[in-house]
Amino acid sequence: MKSFFVIMGGWLLSLVVMVLLCPHGAALAQDSATHTLPVIGIGGLIVNSGTLQALYKSYKVLFQDAFNGVTPLWMRVASLVPSTGKEQGYPWLGQLSSMREWVGDRIIQQLVLHDYAIKNKKYENTVGVKGDDIKDDQLGIYNPLFQEMGRSTAAHPDETVFAALKLGFSRACYDGQYFFDTDHPVGDQSVSNMQSGSGPAWFLLDTSRAVKPLIFQQRETPEFNALDNPNDPNVFFRDEYVYGVKCRDNVGFGMWQMAFGSTAPLNAENYAAARAAMGSLTNDHGRPLGINPNLLVFPPALEGAARKLLVNDRNDAGATNEWAGTAEPLKVAWLA
């Protein structure tokens, strides 16, 4: 009996020492004989539902904080339109009706419907975390990936909206013409909303109306989720825990009348011509639309020219700069 207590006392002392030497704790496992035996986790993390749930929450916080830290620009030039299906039709585009004096019966304006629709696209960003990195407590190396995932997700509308604006010289809008074109049909006339040149493109916009020059159509907002169940195939076969974000949306063109695109030099002469062209637009019946451009959008390469045109009080000759303050300059890196 004495030897039994000596043996048990030595075993308990060894257990205490092992626990003290293992700051991350111990785990219990069962042997093949169904007896419960103590198994010590030497360093690292024990992967269980609690660990994985905490990890998911931690990565989601990193994602969300980075997402919230982005100041988007797309809302300056595009209208947000919720979508309820795989595509959304916009038959009303191009209908710019106006008030008239009511004399006699009402005159019902016969609106021409256009067959213009925007199909939603699916986007994703996915990161895999190795199971060994979780067990070895090497999770910090993934933090920048989830922060970048949040930043890029928040910047996704900017990237797609301004890419569409840049492609406006070669993509059709509701009237079948390129968004920036020389022959938009207005009544029995052809109207231009572009200048040709060989330089970087710049854009003069009227963003004061309910319908902006571009449309950001959103079917599903970004959603952060995970495949981190031990029974998921990615965990079972590759020992990899997967985290990702997805969304469904797309960008299309709104009213070409609200935008003027140019690849000519950004100078006072071309800027004045663009403003004059937009201000002289009418509807199909010849009534002025009252377009008043208020935003100049340009790539980083044209920042100096834009500031000289819209910010400086004096021009190159030292005279008063007549165009100063006539529009807000907006530099967009996505146009580079």
Confidence of residue 23 (pLDDT cuts 50, 70, 90): very low
d(CA 193, CA 93): 17
Both tokens of residue 220? 């599903």
Structural domain containing residue 32: 9-40
DSSP 8-state assignment for residue 311: T
Residue 12 has pLDDT above 60, yes or no: no
Q: Are residues 206 and 237 in the same domain?
A: yes
Both tokens of residue 301? 């390469």
Mean pLDDT of the chain: 84
Structure confidence at residue 150 (pLDDT): 98
Residue 2 has pLDDT above 50, yes or no: no
189 domain-assigned: yes
Q: Are residues 15 and 84 in the same domain?
A: no
d(CA 68, CA 166): 26
Q: Are residues 31 and 123 in the same domain?
A: no
Quick one: average pLDDT of 91-112?
60
Residue 210 has pLDDT above 90, yes or no: no
DSSP 79-115: EEEE--SSEEE-TTTT---------SS-----PPP--
Structure confidence at residue 137 (pLDDT): 77
Is the model more confident about 134 or about 243? 243
Diameter of the chain measured on Cα atoms: 118
Q: Are residues 17 and 117 in the same domain?
A: no
Q: Please report, as a single letter, which amino acid is at residue 100.
A: R
Q: Are residues 32 and 76 in the same domain?
A: no
- Closest-CA residue to 329 (of 157, 158, 73): 73
Contacts of residue 11, defined as CB under 8 A and 6 or more positions apart, other chains included, come to none
4 domain-assigned: no
268 domain-assigned: yes
- Closest-CA residue to 55 (of 155, 151, 125, 127): 127
* Cβ-based burial of 69 (10 A; exposed 0-12, middle 13-18, buried ≥19): exposed
Residue 178 has pLDDT above 80, yes or no: yes
2 domain-assigned: no
Quick one: average pLDDT of 313-324?
94
d(CA 271, CA 237): 61
Taking only the tens place, the pLDDT of each residue in 143-153 is 999 999 999 99
* Cβ-based burial of 170 (10 A; exposed 0-12, middle 13-18, buried ≥19): exposed
Confidence of residue 255 (pLDDT cuts 50, 70, 90): very high
Structure confidence at residue 135 (pLDDT): 83
185 domain-assigned: yes
Name the residue with tokens 């529009």: 327
197 domain-assigned: yes
Q: Are residues 153 and 174 in the same domain?
A: yes
* 56 C-beta neighbours (distance < 10 Å), count: 16
1 domain-assigned: no
Q: Are residues 80 and 20 in the same domain?
A: no
d(CA 127, CA 281): 50
* 187 C-beta neighbours (distance < 10 Å), count: 11
Give the start-end residues of each E strand in the chain.
Answer: 26-30, 36-40, 78-82, 87-89, 117-119, 121-130, 184-186, 189-191, 194-195, 202-205, 214-227, 240-253, 259-262, 295-298, 328-331
Q: Are residues 317 and 189 in the same domain?
A: yes
Q: Are residues 191 and 269 in the same domain?
A: yes
Both tokens of residue 11? 């075993």
Q: Are residues 317 and 168 in the same domain?
A: yes
Quick one: average pLDDT of 223-242?
92
Q: Are residues 128 and 206 in the same domain?
A: yes
Half-sphere exposure of 269 (CA within 13 A, CB side): 3
Is the model more confident about 152 or about 98? 152
104 domain-assigned: no
Residue 299 has pLDDT above 90, yes or no: yes
Quick one: average pLDDT of 13-30?
35
Structure confidence at residue 32 (pLDDT): 33
Confidence of residue 11 (pLDDT cuts 50, 70, 90): very low
Q: Are residues 234 and 178 in the same domain?
A: yes
Instruction: Give the number of domains in the chain.
Output: 2
Both tokens of residue 214? 């571009």
Contact (Cβ atoms closer than 8 angstroms) between residue 129 and residue 241: yes
Confidence of residue 279 (pLDDT cuts 50, 70, 90): very high
Confidence of residue 162 (pLDDT cuts 50, 70, 90): very high
The pTM of the whole model exceeds 0.75 = yes
Confidence of residue 9 (pLDDT cuts 50, 70, 90): very low
